[in-house]
Amino acid sequence: MANTKKIESTEERKKIKRTARKKATPKAKRTTPRGSNKKKVRKLVRGQNKR
Protein backbone atom coordinates (compact mmCIF):
# COMPACT_ATOMS: atom_id res chain seq x y z
CA MET A 1 0.00 0.00 0.00
CA ALA A 2 1.27 3.47 -0.83
CA ASN A 3 2.33 5.73 2.01
CA THR A 4 -0.34 8.46 2.14
CA LYS A 5 0.50 9.98 5.52
CA LYS A 6 1.70 13.31 4.13
CA ILE A 7 -1.25 13.88 1.77
CA GLU A 8 -3.85 16.16 3.31
CA SER A 9 -6.91 15.85 1.06
CA THR A 10 -8.94 12.69 1.49
CA GLU A 11 -9.99 12.53 -2.18
CA GLU A 12 -6.36 12.61 -3.32
CA ARG A 13 -5.42 10.00 -0.73
CA LYS A 14 -8.28 7.76 -1.92
CA LYS A 15 -7.12 8.00 -5.54
CA ILE A 16 -3.56 7.05 -4.66
CA LYS A 17 -4.65 4.13 -2.51
CA ARG A 18 -7.02 2.86 -5.17
CA THR A 19 -4.34 2.89 -7.87
CA ALA A 20 -1.91 1.13 -5.53
CA ARG A 21 -4.54 -1.52 -4.81
CA LYS A 22 -5.09 -2.10 -8.53
CA LYS A 23 -1.34 -2.42 -9.19
CA ALA A 24 -0.74 -4.89 -6.35
CA THR A 25 -0.46 -8.55 -7.26
CA PRO A 26 -3.46 -10.62 -6.18
CA LYS A 27 -3.08 -12.69 -3.03
CA ALA A 28 -2.61 -16.43 -3.39
CA LYS A 29 -5.42 -18.84 -2.62
CA ARG A 30 -5.49 -20.22 0.90
CA THR A 31 -3.72 -23.53 1.40
CA THR A 32 -5.92 -24.52 4.34
CA PRO A 33 -9.60 -23.69 4.67
CA ARG A 34 -10.55 -20.70 6.80
CA GLY A 35 -11.32 -21.55 10.41
CA SER A 36 -9.63 -24.94 10.21
CA ASN A 37 -7.65 -24.18 13.39
CA LYS A 38 -10.77 -23.27 15.34
CA LYS A 39 -11.68 -25.52 18.22
CA LYS A 40 -14.48 -27.82 17.13
CA VAL A 41 -17.53 -28.20 19.38
CA ARG A 42 -18.41 -31.85 19.81
CA LYS A 43 -21.95 -32.94 20.47
CA LEU A 44 -22.12 -34.38 23.97
CA VAL A 45 -24.70 -36.17 26.03
CA ARG A 46 -27.80 -34.19 26.85
CA GLY A 47 -27.43 -31.97 29.91
CA GLN A 48 -23.65 -31.59 29.75
CA ASN A 49 -21.87 -28.32 28.98
CA LYS A 50 -20.46 -28.31 25.48
CA ARG A 51 -17.74 -25.71 25.98
| Confidence label for 49 from pLDDT (cuts 50, 70 and 90) | low
Q: What is the pLDDT of residue 48?
A: 66
Domain boundaries, the chain: 1-26
Cα 25 to Cα 18: distance, rounded to the nearest angstrom: 13
The pLDDT tens digits of the residues spanning 3-26 come to 888 888 999 999 999 999 999 999
| Confidence label for 31 from pLDDT (cuts 50, 70 and 90) | very high
The answer to whether 15 and 30 have CB atoms below 8 angstroms apart is no
Q: What is the pTM of this model?
A: 0.47
